[in-house]
Amino acid sequence: MTEAIVHADGRLVFKGQTFRCAIGKGGARTDKSEGDSATPIAFLPLRRVLYRADRVAIPACAVPKEALAPEDGWCDDTTHRAYNTAIRLPHPARHEELWRRDAVYDIIGILGWNDDPVVRQRGSAIFLHVARPDYAPTEGCVALARPDLQKVLAAGITALQIVP
């Protein structure tokens, strides 16, 4: 595993370089739960990378990659059997649309949080994605400027270690 360290003060350190990042507006927590907007303090493997082929080139990375489609979503409904998994839209349960108007999900690293096994209320849709220009806090994800995200992906990142 080639891991980066993400510090709760907004730094991602990878291969001797430090990058500014955004984390959840709820801070970093060991007791992550659905809807708390916190980034989990944990080891999070990078499972795969999704990208908007109409906006960005296929990202160089060490994990499987797949182009997004307008029908792609992520279920965040704790009562639904598809909770914390990729779904196709339309979908009857509460969900996030991955094909967004803004650039935040132009590149999405799917992080291994609460996925093996999925536990209700433990949190969903924890991603590594593009930061807003002002590095506004996320809903629990880790976000980097697009050039920085592309750089760490190309350098072979395969996991994040979130620390206080």
Predicted pLDDT at 1: 81
Q: What pLDDT is stored for residue 127 in this prediction?
A: 98
pLDDT value for 3 = 97
DSSP 74-123: EE--TTSTTTTSEEESS-SS-EEESS-SSSTTSEEEEE-SS-SS--TTS-
Q: What is the average pLDDT across 103-129?
A: 98
Q: What are the pLDDT digits (tens) for 33-74? A: 999 999 999 999 999 999 999 999 999 999 999 999 999 999
- Please tell me the predicted confidence (pLDDT) of residue 117: 97
| Dist CA 61 CA 3 (whole Å) | 13
Q: In this prediction, what percent of the chain has a pLDDT beyond 70?
A: 100
Token pair for residue 94? Answer: 């509460």
* Section 109-137 average pLDDT: 98
What pLDDT was estimated at residue 73?
Answer: 98
Q: In this predicted structure, what is the pLDDT of residue 17?
A: 98
Residue ranges of domains in the chain, CATH in brackets:
3-163 (2.40.440)
- Give residue-wise pLDDT tens across range 142-155: 999 999 999 999 99
**Mean pLDDT (whole number) for 111-124:** 98
